Amino acid sequence: MAKQVLDSLDRHILKLISQDARIPFLEVARACNVSGAAIHQRVAKLTNLGIIKGSQFVIDPEKIGYETCAYMGLFLKEPEKFDQVVEELKKIPEVVECHYTTGGFDMFIKIYAVNNHHLLEIIHDKLQPLGLSRSETIISFNAAIDRQLSLKDIQQVSDEEDETTEE
């Protein structure tokens, strides 16, 4: 996947909208000292490039009764069925992330459950039938850091690459 080159206007727009996805484009335009149409065009470009994946309201799982957050390393009996297992995992609403990783696990997932008993039901009734040879579960007590990638870091990466391409 090719990395996209962002100019300073793109980075400024991303910084503003990542801090507040509901910020009006005219406010972004004023902050960037460009027209509203320019902001619409840039946001459309960033969306078409896949840099912006959308905007959403973030629901706190704990506030709606999902008190257990768990991470699970899954070992498949038949690792070649990874794609089929992913499709089945998509049907389990409590599974909110799935990663193909290095290391011993075939895949790594994040789950929200109402409580530990509910987590056990998910593992036994929904995950085991997918063809697991075994799993390892880590329960999270609290997320000490939960954020998006810092736009400051994106700027540093882009600026460093700009400097190397100028040489």
User: 4-33 as b/e, with b when 16 or more CB fall inside 10 Å?
Assistant: eebeeebbbbbbbbbeeeeeebeebbeebe
Distance CA 141, CA 135 (A): 19
User: 108-124 as b/e, with b when 16 or more CB fall inside 10 Å?
Assistant: bbebbbbeeebbeebbe
User: Count H helices, E strands: the chain?
Assistant: 6, 4
Distance CA 167, CA 164 (A): 5
Give the helix/strand (H/E) hosting 48.
helix 36-48
Q: Name the percent of the chain lying above pLDDT 70.
A: 89
Q: What is the mean pLDDT of residues 68-73?
A: 97
- Please write the tens of the pLDDT for every residue from 75-93: 999 999 999 999 999 999 9
pLDDT at 131: 94
Read off the pTM: 0.78
- Please write the tens of the pLDDT for every residue from 103-153: 899 999 999 999 999 999 999 999 999 999 999 999 999 999 988 887 765
Position 159 pLDDT exceeds 70: no
Position 156 pLDDT exceeds 80: no
- Please write the tens of the pLDDT for every residue from 6-36: 899 999 999 999 888 899 999 999 999 999 9
Residue 106 sits at φ, ψ, to 5 deg, of -80, -35
Domains and CATH numbers, the chain: 1-57 (1.10.10.10), 61-140 (3.30.70.920)
Residue 123 sits at φ, ψ, to 5 deg, of -60, -50
Task: Give residues with Cβ within 8 angstroms of 92, minimum separation 6.
Answer: 122, 126, 127
Distance CA 109, CA 80 (A): 17
Asked if residue 147 lies in contact with residue 96, where contact means CB atoms within 8 angstroms, the answer is no
